[in-house]
Amino acid sequence: MRKLLGTLAVLALTATGTAFASQAPAKAKPVTTTTATSGHAASSAARRRQHLREASGTVAFINATRLVVSQNVKDVKGKDAKTTFVLTPETQREGRVTRGEQVIVKYRMENNERVAALVKVTAEHRSQRPGKK
């Protein structure tokens, strides 16, 4: 009786395994992804979601693509620490950003560079130009 039950169990398992093996593999559903119309739009959306950091100091240098801010923190040589930011067409500017102005910079880290999202001249520290009141 035990041999008969054991034989039936083996046959049942073999038949079940063969039935599963003979079935055609299920076709995978195509995966559709939505992409933005341009890589620029996708990267802009991703940048807006990133956490912004903040720094402040005096503008030491500025051109179309770079901003260098001197901070009141001394480096190992005893000089004011300078931080460089990348300026992009998306960088917002509040006030006239020129050398010597006190600014607050909101930025994000991107490819090991500080990319400025906002450069704001602080009203209470705007430099007085000779002849203007």
Over the stretch 41-96, which tens digit does the pLDDT of each residue have? 555 555 555 689 999 999 999 999 999 999 877 777 777 889 999 999 999 999 99
For residue 101, give the CATH number of its domain: 2.40.50.320
pLDDT score for 94 = 94
* Element containing residue 22 per DSSP (H, E): helix 2-22
Residue 5 lies in a domain: no
User: How far is the CA of 81 from the CAs of 11, 52, 55, 66, in angstroms?
Assistant: 80, 21, 12, 16
pTM: 0.56
Residue 6 lies in a domain: no
Residue 71 lies in a domain: yes
Strand duo 92-94 + 80-86: pairing: unpaired
